[in-house]
């Protein structure tokens, strides 16, 4: 991990531990509720790993706090501004792309706003999110191919798409130029005790 990724991993680990202890949960209880291994929970809490977005979603959903609350500092004010470069980079592609969480709301109905870039050849594959999750995409640069279950569509500059994120899906840049898109994710009922399927 580079310095910024290591710093983010440390912050996330401290928040997971604080939230777990505030519920008087053991490591095993959190692992079971989130559907991840005990070893992963330990590694996350100690800041030793840069967990996948799917793992972070499972942990934040299990704790009932939503992904934005896990990666952002607590806010007292009703208005929060994320300046350019201040978002949490939660995914890095093999060829240089990034998934940056730039804004989000508190549970129970969590909305996340992402700024994604995919370098040529980059692909992000996601498991299904929790039931009822919706995703909205709009392409600002280049083109991407989005696959939801067994359906695929290529989106170009200005194109937008809405789909259910509670099935497996992927974003791929099969072109020769970098692609950039905004992604909004709506995840209802976070912390309501619904079974967790994870995803990203």
Q: Give residue 37's pLDDT.
A: 94
141's enclosing H/E stretch is strand 134-141
Sheet strands (E) in 15-119: 88-92, 98-104, 110-118
Based on the fold, state whether residues 27 and 98 are members of the same structural domain: no
pLDDT of residue 199: 40
Query: Can you tell me which residue has the tokens 């060829």?
Result: 95
pLDDT: which is higher, 41 or 198: 41
Shared domain check, 179 and 120? yes
**Are 57 and 130 within one domain?**
no
Neighbours of 150 (CB within 10 A): 7
Residue 62: CATH number of its domain: 1.10.260.40
What would you report as the CA-atom Rg of the chain, rounded to the nearest whole angstrom? 16
The answer to whether residues 98 and 180 belong to one domain is yes
* 50 Cα distance to chain centroid: 12
pLDDT of residue 11: 85
What the block records as the tokens of 103 is: 């804004």
Kindly tell me the burial class for residue 2, based on how many C-beta atoms sit within 10 Å of its own C-beta (0-12, 13-18, 19 or more).
exposed
Same domain, residue pair 43 and 115 = no
CATH of the domain at 179: 2.60.120.10
In total, how many domains does the chain have? 2
Average pLDDT, the chain: 88
Q: What is the reported pLDDT for 1?
A: 60
pLDDT in tens, 133-174: 999 999 999 999 999 999 999 999 999 999 999 999 999 999
What pLDDT, on the 0 to 100 scale, is given for residue 183? Answer: 98
Confidence of residue 9 (pLDDT cuts 50, 70, 90): confident
121 and 49 assigned to the same domain = no
pLDDT for the residue numbered 97 = 96
Q: Flag whether 59 is in a domain.
A: yes
Is the same domain home to 95 and 67?
no
The more confident residue out of 64 and 100 is 100
For the chain, the maximum distance between any two Cα atoms, rounded to a whole number of angstroms, is 51
């Amino acid at each position: 991990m580079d310095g910024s990724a290591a710093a983010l991993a440390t912050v996330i680990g401290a928040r997971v531990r604080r939230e777990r202890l505030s519920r008087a949960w053991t490591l095993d209880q959190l692992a079971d509720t989130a559907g991840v291994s005990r070893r992963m929970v330990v590694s996350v809490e100690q800041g030793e790993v840069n967990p996948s977005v799917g793992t972070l979603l499972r942990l934040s959903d299990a704790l009932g706090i939503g992904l934005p609350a896990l990666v952002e500092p607590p806010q007292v004010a009703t208005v929060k501004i994320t300046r350019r470069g201040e978002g949490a980079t939660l995914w890095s592609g093999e060829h240089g792309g990034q998934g940056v969480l730039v804004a989000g709301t508190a549970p129970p109905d969590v909305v996340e706003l992402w700024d994604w870039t995919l370098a040529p050849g980059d692909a992000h594959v996601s498991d299904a999110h929790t039931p009822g999750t919706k995703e909205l995409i709009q392409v600002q640069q280049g083109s991407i191919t989005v696959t939801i279950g067994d359906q695929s569509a290529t989106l170009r500059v200005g194109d937008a798409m809405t789909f259910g994120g509670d099935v497996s899906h992927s974003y791929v840049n099969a072109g020769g130029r970098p692609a950039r898109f905004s992604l909004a994710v709506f995840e209802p009922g976070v912390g309501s005790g619904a079974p967790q399927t994870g995803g990203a």
